[in-house]
């Protein structure tokens, strides 16, 4: 900076010396031409020195109006700079162009695929689960589950799901195990309530046949009825029994009916909805929610828990999808652009205000010194160019006027 300023000042001094020296030369065209050129160069140099100096300080310390522009207009300069950056640099078109040049999906995919980043991210996400659950009111969550579960299980789609589950049971012969389980439970119930059933049958015999018939045959009839029921249940329990075959055939017909008849599927869905809306099932759902919440909270804090593993696997799957699925990549790019476009107006205001505030808080002497050091070298060349251009224009103009009008004062 000192070198540039010294060179410009030295050139100005040279113009002054040439001006003075021209008066010592013998009168003639050459002396007059040199004098005119040197005068113009000196005036041009002085004018540009004044202009450059006035940007940063008062020339010669004199409080001339409209000088020391940068220190005096620091706040307005900051506002103008902030508006320029916000409206002409930080624009929607520029932001979109920058985003288009970035492979956002690739960056996200590589980040998520790297265990060094996906593992901490998974642990962080899992660690948020207890806080998330703590923010959910138990009563509200249970009421929400009480409304959602019947709706999920109460449509025609639920009927088709039931048909699919029954077909899986049928294909694996598991439906017979269910049938056997029901029979076994029925036998246990009959055994536990045999005495009560016997008294009920005897009472029924007395009601229908009178007290004498009930006294004489009631116990015998009750015993025979219960014996016959147990015998029939024993026949059903045997593999290959007719009732098991009939049950198998009924299952096949019912599955086909549910799959082919939308009305039947909807009926099954409504039945499921009524069932899960029952208070007993609702109580069970609420109990499941409570147990699930406790299990999630306990597992989420474990570094090697299932929650961390699930989160890490989900992040890896997301990375693979962003790598292979062009549609997913396009959706991510579009989503980011829409978010940025939505935030851009407020961001522009914030950037403009931030720049204006930073510039306004700068010390006037500091900002003047920094700007002068940054652009002062180029401004000194303005002085040099003004001096040289003035010298050349002054000489050419004098020669032109002399050619047109003869000897002139310049």
Residue 75 has phi, psi (to 5 degrees) of: -65, -45
Within 8 A by CB and 6+ apart from 77, the residues are: 70, 359
Nearest by Cα to 360 from 70, 19, 40:
70
Per-residue pLDDT for 328 more than 80? yes
The confidence band for 197, taking pLDDT boundaries of 50, 70 and 90, is low
pLDDT digits (tens, 9 = 90+) for 115-128: 888 888 888 877 77
pLDDT score, position 362? 72
Question: Which of the pair, 145 or 329, is modelled with greater confidence?
Answer: 329
Nearest by Cα to 56 from 77, 72, 79:
72
Within 8 A by CB and 6+ apart from 381, the residues are: 4, 8
Sign of the dihedral through C-alpha 15, 17, 20, 21: negative
pLDDT score, position 248? 67
pTM tops 0.75: no
Exposure string over 47-65, b if 16+ CB within 10 A, otherwise e: ebbeebbbbbbebeeeeee
Mean of the pLDDT values across residues 94-115?
82
The confidence band for 390, taking pLDDT boundaries of 50, 70 and 90, is very high
Q: How far is CA 153 from CA 146, 157, 391, in A?
A: 11, 8, 95
pLDDT score, position 126? 78
Domain ranges of the chain: 2-72+363-405, 136-300
The confidence band for 2, taking pLDDT boundaries of 50, 70 and 90, is confident
The confidence band for 229, taking pLDDT boundaries of 50, 70 and 90, is low
pLDDT digits (tens, 9 = 90+) for 296-326: 777 777 777 777 887 888 888 888 888 888 8
* 60 DSSP assignment: G
d(CA 213, CA 42): 146
Maximum CA extent, the chain: 169
pLDDT score, position 13? 93
Question: Which of the pair, 106 or 136, is modelled with greater confidence?
Answer: 106
**Residue 197: Cβ-neighbour burial (10 angstroms; 0-12, 13-18, 19+):** middle
DSSP string, 61-90: G---TT-SHHHHTHHHHHHHHHHHIIIIIS
pLDDT score, position 253? 75
pLDDT score, position 149? 57
Mean of the pLDDT values across residues 254-272?
71
d(CA 146, CA 150): 7
The confidence band for 101, taking pLDDT boundaries of 50, 70 and 90, is confident
pLDDT score, position 345? 84
pLDDT score, position 174? 57
Sign of the dihedral through C-alpha 279, 280, 283, 284: negative
Mean of the pLDDT values across residues 70-76?
74
d(CA 391, CA 352): 44
pLDDT score, position 155? 55
pLDDT score, position 39? 93
- Average pLDDT score, the chain: 75
pLDDT digits (tens, 9 = 90+) for 5-54: 888 899 999 999 999 998 888 888 888 999 999 999 999 999 998 888 88
Tokens matching residue 156: 């025609």
pLDDT digits (tens, 9 = 90+) for 239-252: 555 666 666 676 67
Q: Of 142-146, 164-168, 279-283, 335-339, where does the model show the most confidence?
A: 335-339
């Amino acid at each position: 900076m000192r070198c540039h300023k010294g060179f410009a000042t030295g050139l100005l001094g040279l113009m002054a010396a040439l001006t003075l020296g021209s008066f010592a030369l013998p009168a003639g065209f050459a002396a007059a031409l040199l004098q005119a050129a040197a005068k113009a160069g000196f005036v041009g140099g002085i004018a540009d020195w004044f202009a450059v100096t006035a940007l940063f300080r008062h020339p010669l310390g004199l409080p001339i109006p409209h000088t020391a522009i940068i220190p005096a207009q620091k706040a307005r300069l900051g506002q103008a700079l902030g508006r320029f950056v916000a409206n002409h640099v930080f624009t929607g078109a520029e932001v979109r162009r920058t985003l288009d040049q970035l492979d956002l999906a690739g960056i996200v995919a590589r980040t998520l695929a790297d265990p060094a980043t996906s593992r901490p991210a998974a642990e962080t996400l899992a660690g948020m689960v207890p806080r998330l659950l703590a923010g959910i009111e138990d009563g509200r969550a249970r009421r929400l589950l009480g409304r959602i579960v019947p709706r999920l299980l109460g449509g025609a789609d639920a009927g088709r799901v039931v048909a699919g589950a029954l077909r899986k049971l049928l294909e694996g012969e598991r439906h017979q195990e269910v049938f056997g389980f029901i029979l076994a439970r029925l036998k246990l119930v009959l055994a536990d309530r045999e005495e009560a059933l016997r008294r009920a049958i005897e009472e029924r015999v007395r009601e229908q046949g009178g007290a004498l018939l009930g006294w004489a045959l009631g116990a015998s009839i009750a015993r025979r009825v219960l014996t016959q029921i147990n015998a029939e249940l024993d026949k059903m329990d045997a593999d290959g029994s007719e009732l098991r075959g009939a049950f198998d055939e009924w299952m096949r017909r019912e599955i086909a009916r549910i799959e082919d008849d939308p009305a039947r599927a909807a009926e099954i869905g409504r039945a499921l909805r009524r069932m899960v809306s029952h208070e007993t099932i609702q109580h069970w759902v609420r109990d499941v929610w409570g147990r699930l919440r406790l299990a999630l909270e306990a597992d989420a804090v474990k570094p090697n828990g299932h929650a961390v593993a699930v989160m890490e696997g989900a992040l890896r799957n997301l990375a693979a999808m962003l790598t292979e699925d062009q549609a997913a990549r396009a959706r991510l790019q579009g989503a980011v652009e829409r978010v940025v476009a939505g935030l851009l107006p407020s961001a522009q205001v914030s950037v403009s205000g931030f720049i204006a505030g930073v510039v306004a808080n700068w010390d006037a002497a500091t900002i003047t010194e920094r700007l002068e050091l940054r652009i002062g070298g180029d401004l000194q060349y303005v002085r040099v160019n003004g001096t040289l251009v003035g010298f050349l224009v002054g000489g050419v103009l004098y020669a032109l006027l002399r050619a047109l009008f003869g000897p002139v004062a310049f």
